[in-house]
């Protein structure tokens, strides 16, 4: 049996609903042997996760998921095996969290002007760590009956052209990869199929990422059809990008993907963990 890796998951340090130690315990129950904690723009959950991992016999990979703006599109770059204490990485992530704080106020102002009051306080009620995310707004809006579920909240309020949308001004790609590499980590492009790009445009994104010294991409992400996996595998092989596997787990509620239940990496892919 090959080892079970899940290299993309969130805790309450960002927009997950399990604490870092709760997440590690759940990973152990799911049979995950190597878990990366990759909170959005923040590493404050890693110490607790590491402690729990030592106790529970799970291998914990210190990670982060960095928000990046590439040609007006928001994309996510995972840093795996980072040193979370690296000063350059810490400074970079602190800047992104400041943008998040400002953006949250701006989202609330726009929602208020649209007739939805109290959204900042409402979202903060769901945020249990140092970052505030659209996910927290979505939970508040769904609980308040502004839409029937979080997915509809995004469609109605939080995406481009909708009343609560504030365009991202995240890290640039070279910067984000630079922080990760300087912190001794591996830069991996997250969920490439989720950006809904044409094949040409996805190719451009991957070329740009490769040119910035990115080393891998998620060839398997969450629940993904075999056709998509085959396409992503081809994209990775053509550029010499290594392959990674991650659920992007955010907690048990309406789980899009369970921890450690993805298809394995196709044998042709060179895994990110080969050199560990």
Binding footprint of ligand AMP on the chain (CB under 6 A): 15, 40, 67, 133-135, 150-151, 154, 250
Which of the listed partners (Mn ion, ligand AMP, none) does 67 bind, with a CB threshold of 5 to 8 Å by partner kind? ligand AMP
Residue number closest to Mn ion, CB atom: 76
Q: Residue 159 or 230: which CB sits closer to ligand AMP?
A: 159
Smallest separation, CB 114 to ligand AMP (Å): 18
Smallest separation, CB 39 to ligand AMP (Å): 10
Q: Cα-Cα-Cα-Cα dihedral of 96, 98, 102, 107, to 10°?
A: 40
Q: Residue 15 or 42: which CB sits closer to Mn ion?
A: 15
Closest by Cα among 49, 15, 23, 22 to 131: 15
Which of the listed partners (Mn ion, ligand AMP, none) does 17 bind, with a CB threshold of 5 to 8 Å by partner kind? none
The residues in 13-32 that bind Mn ion, with binding defined as CB under 5 A, are 15
The Cα 34–Cα 230 span in angstroms is 24
The residues in 174-233 that bind Mn ion, with binding defined as CB under 5 A, are 190
Q: Print the binding letters for residues 51-90 with Mn ion: x by CB under 5 A, - otherwise.
A: --------------x----------x--------------
Element (H, E) at 207: helix 199-211
Token representation of residue 147? 């839409």
Q: Which residues pair with 245 in a beta bridge?
A: 220
Closest by Cα among 5, 46, 2, 1 to 273: 5
> For residues 114 and 164, is the Cβ–Cβ distance under 8 A?
yes
> For residues 96 and 149, is the Cβ–Cβ distance under 8 A?
no
How many residues sit in the footprint of Mn ion (CB under 5 A)?
A: 5
Residue 119's Cβ-count burial label (10 Å; 0-12, 13-18, 19+) is: buried
Which of the listed partners (ligand AMP, Mn ion, none) does 42 bind, with a CB threshold of 5 to 8 Å by partner kind? none
Which of the listed partners (ligand AMP, Mn ion, none) does 134 bind, with a CB threshold of 5 to 8 Å by partner kind? ligand AMP
Which of the listed partners (Mn ion, ligand AMP, none) does 151 bind, with a CB threshold of 5 to 8 Å by partner kind? ligand AMP
SS3 123: helix
Q: Which residues bind Mn ion (CB under 5 A)?
A: 15, 65, 76, 190, 248
């Amino acid at each position: 049996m090959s080892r079970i890796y899940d290299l993309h998951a969130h805790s309450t340090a960002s927009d997950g609903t399990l604490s870092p130690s709760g997440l590690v315990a759940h990973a152990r129950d799911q049979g995950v042997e190597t878990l990366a904690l990759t909170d959005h723009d923040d590493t404050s959950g890693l110490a607790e996760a590491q402690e729990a991992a030592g106790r529970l016999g799970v291998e914990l990979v210190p990670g982060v998921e960095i928000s990046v703006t590439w040609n007006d599109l928001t994309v996510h770059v995972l840093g795996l095996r980072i040193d979370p204490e690296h000063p350059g990485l810490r400074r970079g992530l602190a800047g992104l969290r400041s943008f998040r704080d400002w953006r949250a106020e701006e989202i609330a102002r726009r929602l208020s002007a649209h007739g939805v009051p109290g959204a900042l306080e409402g979202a903060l009620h769901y945020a249990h760590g140092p970052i505030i995310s659209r996910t927290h707004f979505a939970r508040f809006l769904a609980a308040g009956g502004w839409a029937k579920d979080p997915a509809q909240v995004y469609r109605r309020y939080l995406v481009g052209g909708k009343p609560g949308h504030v365009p991202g001004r995240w890290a640039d790609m070279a910067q984000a990869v630079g922080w990760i590499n300087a912190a001794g980590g591996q830069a991996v492009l997250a969920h490439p199929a989720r950006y809904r790009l044409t094949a040409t445009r996805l190719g451009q994104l991957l070329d740009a990422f490769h040119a910035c010294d990115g080393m891998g991409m998620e060839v398997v992400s969450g629940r993904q059809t075999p056709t998509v996996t085959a396409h992503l595998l081809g994209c990775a092989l053509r550029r010499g990008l290594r392959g990674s596997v991650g659920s992007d787990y955010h907690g048990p509620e309406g789980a899009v993907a369970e921890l450690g239940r993805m298809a394995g990496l196709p044998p042709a892919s060179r895994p990110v963990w080969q050199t560990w």
